[in-house]
Structure 1
Amino acid sequence: MFKNLLSSSRPFTSRLVSSGVLSASLTAAAALSPLQALADPVTIQSCDRQVTFDSPPKAAVSHDVNMTEMMLVLGLRDSMVGYTGVSGWKTLDEEMRRKVKELPELAAKHPSKETLIGHDVDLYFAGWNYGMKVGGEVTPETLAPFGINVYELTESCSHIIDRPKITMADMYNDLLNLGKIFGIEEKAESLVAGYKSEMSEIQNNLKSPEKPLRVFVYDSGEDKPFTAGRYAMPTALIEAAGGKNIMDDFEKSWGTIGWEAVVDRNPEVVVIVNYGKVTAEQKIAFMKNNPAFADIDAVKNDRFVVLEYVEATPGPRNIKAVKKLAAGFHGS
C-alpha cells in the first residue's frame, strides 16, 4: 500500500529560543570571564546516578546538535574539546555550522571509547540513544575507569528508568545542571528564567479551542512511521502550544507504530520533523498522495507544521518550536 519513498531509520540520537535571542545569548556568553573553580564538590543527579565534580570540566564533549547548542548557549565553548554525532545524521544547519566552526567533530555518528579517551575528555554530555546504547561500548560505567564523567540528557532517562511524562522542565533541568557542573549556576538560572518568561508570554497569547488539537508527530518511515511517544520532547512542546500528541500513551521516547493507529486517532495537525536525506516536503507529499490517509483531518485540511531536528529535541530552540507550533495550531 505504501510506496518506498521514506527511510524508516532515524539517528539513534533519539532530537528554543529565537535565532536572535540565541545569538545574543552566545555573544553575551563569550564576554564572560573564564570559569571559576568550584568552591566545593558538586553532586548532580543524572538519571539513576549521582555524579560528583570536584572542579569544572576542561575537556568536555557534547553529543548531537541539541546538546552541543546547550553547551554553547551557556558560553562553554572554551571548556570543550569537540562534539560528536552531528554530520552523520545531517542535522547541522547553517546557524550551528557558524557556532561550531572552531570546534572539531570527533565522530560523525557514535564516538568510540577510544575516541573519547584519546582526546583526554573529562565530561561526555550525551544520552541514551543519543550517543550511548544500553549495554554498548560507551556508557557511564565503561568510561568511569578512564576518568570520564557522563551527564545524561534528562529526556533520555526513560530508556533506563521509570519516569513521568516529558515536560519543558526536563530541558530546563539540563541547563541548570550544566550550570552547576561548570560553576556558572547564576548564568544558567538567568537563562532558564528568560525561557520561562518567554513561554508564559506565548501561552498567555494562545487562542486555544475547548479541546486540545489532536497532533501526530511524523519523524520518518513509510511502511510504519517513527514517532514521538510520551517521553519524547515533542510531546511537551505540543502540550505547551495547546495541543495533544495522539501517541502520548505510547510508552516510549521515540519508536515505531502502525499507520492504523494514526488513521484511527485522526490527527488534526501533523508535525513533521525535518532532517536527513528525506525532506519535510517529501514527507508531506507522501501523506497527501496516499489514499490510505485521505480521510485524516490534517491531510484533508493541509495542516502540517515543520520542526527542524534541533527544535524537536531538548535544547535552547524549544521555545522557538513552541511558538511555531502555537502559530500552526491556533494562528497565535
Structure 2
Amino acid sequence: MFRRKSRITLSTLLVAGVALTGCSRGEAIESSGGGEAFAEPVTITNCEREATFEAPPQRIISMNDHVTETLIQMGAGDRIVGMGYGEQNDVLPEVAEQFHAIPSLAEEYPTWEQIIDLEPDMVVGGMRSAFDEKEGRSRDALEAQGISTFLFSEYCGEGFPDLGMLDTDFEQLGRVLGVEDGAEALAERITGDMNEVRESLDEAGVSGIPTFFYDGGEAEPTTIGGVGVGQLIGEYAGADNIFTEGDRPYLKTTWEILGERQPEAIVVLDYGATSAEDKIAYLKQQPIMSTTPAVREDRIVVVPLSDFFESSRITTSTETIARALHPQAFGGR
C-alpha cells in the first residue's frame, strides 16, 4: 500500500479496515477487510520525504489531539485505531462523539511497542516530538517496519509562512486517505474564517498592537518566534508579535528585552500545570513587566495552547484575540 522512495525499500502492505461503531474508549478495534486500491498510485512529498501509496491507509494512529480532530473532520476518523494525547476534555463539539470512541493509548505519546502492537499502516504526527528518535519512534524506524508516516508541515523546520502550507498538508492527506472532498472543505472553511477576521480589521482601519505572546517561564520567559502558527495567528488577529526573530516557533527571551520592547498587549497561552491565572498574576508582579503598557492597562488575552496548532482551532484563537484587542472592528462586541 505504501512505498517510500528512499534508501529503505519497503514491501507492499496488506490493508486492514477498522470498525469503530459500538466500540467504547480503550477497547480493541477489530479489522473488517481491506481498502480499495487507488486507480493510480498516489505520491506525495512531506517534509522532503517522498512516499507512494497504492491504497488509502486503513489503520491510523494519530499522535496529537489536533491531528485526531483534523482527521475526523476530514472524514477519516473511523480508521483511527488509537491516539496519543487522548485525555483532553476540551474537544471540538463537532468531533467529540467520535473522538471519545477512539482508544487513548497514552496521556502523551504511545510507546514504540504500543504502536507496533496495533499494526497500523500509517502514523500521523502534529509535532516533531511525535517522531522522537530518542524514544525509538522515528519516521525512519516506523517506515522500516512498513508503516507510513506524515508530519504536519508546521514542524518540518521551515516555519508556517502562510495558509498555503495548511492547504498543501490537507490536500495531501485528503488524497492519501481518499477523503479529498472532506479535506478540501475543511481547508476552505479555515481559510475563509481567517480571512473574514482579517477583513473585519482592515475595514475598521485598525493598526496592529505590539504584543507579547507569553508561553510561560519565570527565570526565562518563553514566547513565540517569527515563524510558526503563532506568528500567523498574530498577523491575522492584529496582534503584532514583538519577537519576530529566530527560526523556531518558540524561543526564550529575557525580561530586560521585554522591558525595552514595551508590549501594549499580552496573549497568555493556557496549558500545563501553571494556570493562566497564575501566569497573569506573575506578570503583574514581575518588576519589569509591571511597567509595560500591557500590564498597566490590563490588556491581556487568554487563549488555550490547543488553539495554536495547525488545525481548524486557529480560527478560534484568531477571532478571540482580534475581538479582545480590536472590539471596535466587531461592533464593540
| Offset, 1:262 | 1.9
Equivalent residue for 1:204? 199
Aligned residue pairs, count: 292
Corresponding residue for residue 62 of structure 2: 62
Unaligned ranges ≥5, structure 1? 1-33
Preserved CA contact (<8 Å) 2:221 2:253: yes
Q: Which residue of 2 aligns with 1:167?
A: 162
Q: Does 136-145 or 117-126 show the bigger shift?
A: 136-145
Q: Structure 1 residues 275, 201: closer, same or farther in 2, change over 3 A?
A: same
Aligned counterpart in structure 1 of residue 267 of structure 2, from 266, 271, 274:
271
SS of structure 1 residue aligned to 2:325: helix
**Letter in structure 1 aligned against 2:124:** F
**Where does residue 40 of structure 2 map in the other structure?**
40
Distance 2:270 2:166 in 1: 20
User: Could you tell me which residue of structure 2 aligns to residue 133 of structure 1?
Assistant: 132
Which has the larger Rg?
2
Counterpart-to-counterpart distance in 2, 1:217 and 1:134 = 30
Residue 248 of structure 1 is matched in structure 2 by 244
Q: CA deviation at 1:214?
A: 1.0
* Greater shift in the superposed pair: 313-322 or 204-213: 204-213
Match of 1:181 in 2: 176
Q: Which sections of structure 2, spanning at least 5 residues, go unmatched?
A: 1-33
For residues 35 and 274 of structure 2, the distance between their equivalents in structure 1, rounded to whole angstroms, comes to 41
* 2:6 alignment partner in structure 1: none
Does the residue aligned with 1:138 lie in a helix, a strand or coil? Answer: coil
How far apart are the structure 1 equivalents of 2:161 and 2:255? Answer: 24
Selected match of 1:314 from 307, 310, 314? 310
- Post-superposition Cα deviations, 1:7-57, rounded to whole Å, max 9, x if no partner, equal xxxxxxxxxxxxxxxxxxxxxxxxxxx986422211122111112211111
Q: Which amino acid aligns with 1:156?
A: Y
**Which string of whole-angstrom CA distances, capped at 9 and with x for unpartnered residues, describes residues 119-159 of structure 1?**
0011111145341235651111111121111101110011x
Q: Does 1:300 align with 2:299?
A: no
Aligned pairs for 1:1-332 (under 5 A) are 37-87=37-87, 91-93=88-90, 95=92, 98-133=97-132, 136-158=135-157, 163=158, 165-206=160-201, 211-331=207-327, 332=330
Q: Which amino acid in the other structure matches residue 93 of structure 1?
A: D
- Secondary structure of the residue aligned to 1:50 is strand
Report the Cα offset of residue 98 of structure 1.
Answer: 4.5
Instruction: Read off the aligned partner of 1:149 and give its amino acid letter.
Output: S
1:125 and 1:165 map into 2 onto residues whose CA distance is 18
Q: Partners of 2:280 and 2:35 in 1: how far apart? A: 46
SS at match of 2:188: helix
Deviation string, structure 1 residues 305-325 (Cα, Å, up to 9, x no partner): 111122111111111111111
> Which is bigger in relative contact order (C-alpha 8 A, separation at least 6)?
1
Instruction: Name the amino acid aligned to 1:197.
Output: G
Taking every aligned residue pair, what percent have the same amino acid on both sides?
A: 28
Q: Deviations over 1:245-290 (max 9, x none)?
A: 1112122122322222222222111111111221111111110122
> 2:206 touches 2:326 (CA, 8 Å); kept in 1?
no
Q: Is the 8 A contact 1:73 1:316 kept in 2?
A: no
RMSD of Structure 2 on Structure 1 (CA): 2.2
